[in-house]
Amino acid sequence: MKKFFIIFFFIIGLSLSSNAQGSNFFEYLSELKLPDSLYFCGERIPLEIPEVRERAEREFYLLLQQPGQVILFLKRSGRFFPLFEKILKEKNMPDDLKYLSVAESALFMSRSVKGAVGLWQFMPATAKAYGLQVDDYVDERCNPEKSTVAALDYLQDGYNVHKSWLLAAAGYNMGNTNVNSAKEFQGSNDYFDLFLNEETSRYILRIVIIKEIMLNARNYGFRLSKDDYYKPDEVTYLECKEGIDNLSDWAKAKGTTYKDVKLLNPWIINRKLPSPPKGKTYMIAVPVNK
């Protein structure tokens, strides 16, 4: 019954939009078509291949049936895309890679049932291999900047091996070793020639469709103003070279609150911090207005 009401109100809401122009939701949705061409990091998606087009349309129409989720993608992009774009530019990597984070986590500090965490959904072992601290007190998979650097390093390593950003993205999902195994067994270096598991086959097309809808949101009925987007937090960073026994007391001493410290530093997962690893310091964000 709950599912019925969600679908009912969703249909009513869309039928009232200017895009629908009095038609019902089903007519409106059926009129939307894939664009003639789609690209990811400069690599063309071969929509002329029937099964590729069908896979792309699956992600296209399913995502358009989740308008609330798309709106959250757009709103959250205002908070995180500036950071992603800055690091991508510094690393001279394609801007399209930022959409992997949308597909991975919906730009939310989520935790998967398999134990992947953060904006880029790192598993613990991979996170540690790429220099992130993961223990009972600190989980840098939830540090937006550090996890982004680690994720892009992983993708760059994949590109160095595969010479394709599509295959590098596939490797992010299923592991570069597994991509190499599929390439060798099937005798192809073309992502669209490979038969892969369903999750990875959907993953790449989902990223491409997320990019298309977010870049051209107004074409699909999403009319957000600039003020609708969430803004990056206004913070200053305090360097901490020693452990903190009580984060609540520390926050008060710095003129802020424990809540603010936890919200602005989701990588802090306990009520205290041990001394940082040798040669490192903690950079703790606090609000600039407190």
Q: What is the pLDDT of residues 208-230, one digit of tens each?
A: 999 999 999 999 999 999 999 99
Q: Is residue 41 part of a domain?
A: yes
Q: Is residue 55 part of a domain?
A: yes
- Whole-number pLDDT of residue 16: 45
**3-state secondary structure (DSSP) of residue 40:** strand
137, 270 contact by CB (below 8 A):
yes
Q: Is residue 19 part of a domain?
A: no
Q: Is residue 3 part of a domain?
A: no
* pLDDT score of 18 more than 60: no
Query: What mean pLDDT do residues 66-74 have?
Result: 97
281 in the same domain as 189:
no
Q: Where residue 290 falls among pLDDT bands split at 50, 70, 90?
A: low
**Which of 180, 210, 228 delimits the end of a domain?**
228
177 in the same domain as 58:
yes
152 in the same domain as 38:
yes
Q: Where residue 23 falls among pLDDT bands split at 50, 70, 90?
A: low
Q: Where residue 289 falls among pLDDT bands split at 50, 70, 90?
A: confident
Q: What is the pLDDT of residues 111-137, one digit of tens each?
A: 999 999 999 999 999 999 999 999 999
Residue type, 48: E
**Which of 210, 228, 246 delimits the end of a domain?**
228
The parent domain of residue 87 ranges over: 32-228
- Whole-number pLDDT of residue 28: 75
Q: Residue 143 contacts by C-beta under 8 Å, 6 or more apart in sequence?
A: 118, 132, 265, 266, 267
* pLDDT score of 14 more than 80: no
255 in the same domain as 157:
no
* CATH number of the domain that residue 182 is part of: 1.10.530.10
* pLDDT score of 5 more than 80: no
**Which of 186, 212, 228 delimits the end of a domain?**
228
Q: Is residue 11 part of a domain?
A: no
Query: What mean pLDDT do residues 51-60 have?
Result: 97
CB-based burial, 250-282: b 16+ in 10 Å, e otherwise: bbeeeebeeebbeebbbbbbeeebeebeeeeeb
Q: To the nearest whole percent, how much of the chain has pLDDT over 70?
A: 92
Phi/psi for 273 (5° steps) reads -125, 130
Q: Hey, how many other C-beta atoms are within 10 angstroms of the C-beta on 73?
A: 22
156 in the same domain as 45:
yes
How big, in percent rounded to 5, are the helix, strand and coil portions of the chain? Answer: 55, 10, 35
Write down how long the chain is: 290
216 in the same domain as 74:
yes
259 in the same domain as 154:
no
252 in the same domain as 212:
no
- Whole-number pLDDT of residue 225: 96
* Partner residues linked to 206 by β-bridges: none
44 in the same domain as 105:
yes
Q: Is residue 1 part of a domain?
A: no
Separation between Cα atoms, residue 240 and residue 275, nearest integer Å: 9
Q: What is the pLDDT of residues 122-176, one digit of tens each?
A: 999 999 999 999 999 999 999 999 999 999 999 999 999 999 999 999 999 999 9
| HSE of 259, CA atoms in CB hemisphere, 13 A | 1
Query: What mean pLDDT do residues 100-110 have?
Result: 97
183 in the same domain as 257:
no
239 in the same domain as 181:
no
**3-state secondary structure (DSSP) of residue 138:** strand
- Whole-number pLDDT of residue 199: 95
pTM of the model: 0.89
Q: Is residue 260 part of a domain?
A: yes
Residue type, 265: N
* pLDDT score of 258 more than 70: yes
Q: Is residue 12 part of a domain?
A: no
What radius of gyration, in Å, describes the C-alpha atoms of the chain? Answer: 21
Q: Residue 161 contacts by C-beta under 8 Å, 6 or more apart in sequence?
A: 168, 171, 176, 180
105, 112 contact by CB (below 8 A):
no
* Partner residues linked to 44 by β-bridges: 39
68 in the same domain as 187:
yes
Count of domains observed in the chain: 2
Element (H, E) at 98: helix 98-105
